[in-house]
Amino acid sequence: MKPETNGSKMPSILVTGGAGYVGSHTVLTLLERQGTDIDIVVVDNLSNAYRAQGQKQPEPIRIIEELTDKTIHFYDVDIRDKDGLSKIFEHHDIESVIHFAALKAVGESVQKPLEYYQANITGTCTLLEVMRNFGVYKLVYSSSCTVYGEPENLPINEGHPTGRGLTSPYGKSKYFCEEIMKDVCRSDPKWMIVSLRYFNPVGAHRSGRIGEDPSGIPNNLMPYISQVAVGRLKELQVFGNDYATVDGTGVRDYIHVQDLAEGHVKAVKLFHQPGFGGFHAVNLGTGTGYSVLQMIAAFEQVSGRQIPYKIVGRREGDIAENYADVSLSQRLLGWRATRTLEDMCADTWRWQHNNPNGFKK
């Protein structure tokens, strides 16, 4: 699709997948934190974001404009569309890119590997190529702790091997993209790439106006719990209680999406640091793990709702326990997560309670 020429020559940050869950919270945080001297350009193909009939902007972007009273340049373009993407670079003075646009459902990726490799790998390669063509060498990449596979030791630091024993095309696509970016950085010292390896993002903006809005039945724990709490789903299935963990259920490092968003803002700031360059992978987590049963209890406490659940067998591909070593993020980015488990549950609940059907009214 041909983008409209609503360009400006203000220095801009391009956010791919900016209408999605982590993307939209990052756009909002960038607008809250940056001065008026930077423009935000969002490109999103709306494969996992909702746009109401007759609206130009997808709902999260429209709401962020309302909350911040700022304008976002939005383009309904697929990042694999090289011409469409190039036109955006022609119309805006893009300084750096934060790249979220990707497919992310682990189970679906096993059924549709080609779609995942197309979207995630071809998409990333096309973006990198267009960036290079326009002399833009600064990129923050949305990666995942899934690149570590089964943890050999905990907490996991960035020196842990990656790419071993990965079971899903989704996880492999994140690993392959990191490898591609390492090669790209080796090929030209102008590149600066920060790959942020997220642990388990949960929560929502404190306004309760934007949050996670999975299409169909949620795959992840937190949106499932909140949909049970609001009455959209009947009961939660707990996948296994025979792991070697505190109570037998899986343990993960849940991180508030606002903390995660702030990590991206810090990563962009690194680009201005003298001498900074090359590829850097950084964990974004809290360093603390909680079990499924602890998550249920915390959510019940905060929401005042009971979460009916049933213990069932383990889910294929799941690991027992995972949490991050967060010392590099503190050292390199000067960032650490500050929000508590109660904040994560309270903000998820505010969003879910105010918007029982997500962005669709």
Which of residues 269 and 315 has its CB atom nearest to ligand UFG in the complex?
315
Q: Does position 252 bind ligand UFG by CB under 6 A? A: yes
**Which of these segments, 34-42, 139-147, 281-289, 328-336, binds ligand UFG (CB under 6 A)?**
139-147
Q: Which of 201, 105, 101 has its CA nearest to residue 142?
A: 101
**Which of these segments, 55-63, 129-137, 236-244, 264-272, binds ligand UFG (CB under 6 A)?**
236-244
Q: In the bound complex, what is the minimum distance in angstroms from residue 336's beta carbon to ligand UFG?
A: 20
Q: In the bound complex, what is the minimum distance in angstroms from residue 236's beta carbon to ligand UFG?
A: 6
Cβ-count burial 234-265 (b if 16+ within 10 Å, e if not): eebebbbbebebeebbbbbbbbbbbbbbbbbb
**Which of these segments, 15-23, 40-48, 70-78, 233-241, binds ligand UFG (CB under 6 A)?**
233-241
Q: How far apart are CA 185 and CA 176, in angstroms?
A: 14
**Number of residues counted as binding ligand UFG (CB under 6 A):** 21
11 strand-pairing partners: 93
94 strand-pairing partners: 12
Which of residues 18 and 171 has its CB atom nearest to ligand UFG in the complex?
171
Which of residues 161 and 334 has its CB atom nearest to ligand UFG in the complex?
161
Q: Which of 268, 284, 211 has its CA nearest to residue 38?
A: 268
Q: Which of residues 224, 299, 349, 351 is near ligand UFG by CB under 6 A?
A: 224
Q: Does position 146 bind ligand UFG by CB under 6 A? A: yes
Q: How far apart are CA 199 and CA 151, in angstroms?
A: 13
Q: Which of residues 12, 26, 96, 144 is near ligand UFG by CB under 6 A?
A: 144
Q: Does position 220 bind ligand UFG by CB under 6 A? A: yes
Q: Which of residues 70, 112, 232, 315 is near ligand UFG by CB under 6 A?
A: 315
Q: Which of residues 106, 128, 282, 345 is near ligand UFG by CB under 6 A?
A: 106
Q: Is 323 a catalytic residue?
A: no
CB neighbour class for 148 (10 Å; exposed up to 12, middle 13-18, buried from 19): buried
Q: In the bound complex, what is the minimum distance in angstroms from residue 83's beta carbon to ligand UFG?
A: 31
Residues in the chain, total: 361
Q: Does position 141 bind ligand UFG by CB under 6 A? A: no
Q: Which of residues 3, 58, 123, 171 is near ligand UFG by CB under 6 A?
A: 171
What is the maximal distance between C-alpha atoms in the chain?
57
Q: Which of residues 41, 145, 298, 333 is near ligand UFG by CB under 6 A?
A: 145
- Residues between 262 and 301 that touch ligand UFG (CB under 6 A): 292
**Of 21, 170, 175, 254, catalytic:** 170
Q: In the bound complex, what is the minimum distance in angstroms from residue 358's beta carbon to ligand UFG?
A: 17
Task: HSE, CB side, 13 Å, CA atoms: give it for residue 295.
Answer: 29
The one-letter code for the residue type at 302 is V
Q: Which of residues 47, 207, 219, 241 is near ligand UFG by CB under 6 A?
A: 219
Which of residues 146 and 348 has its CB atom nearest to ligand UFG in the complex?
146
Which of residues 45 and 227 has its CB atom nearest to ligand UFG in the complex?
227
Q: Is 141 in contact with 196 (CB distance < 8 Å)?
A: yes
Q: Which of residues 250, 287, 289, 358 is near ligand UFG by CB under 6 A?
A: 250
What amino acid positions are annotated as catalytic residues? 170
What is the contact surface with ligand UFG in residues (CB under 6 A)?
104, 106, 144-146, 171, 200, 219-221, 224, 236-239, 250, 252, 292, 315, 318, 322
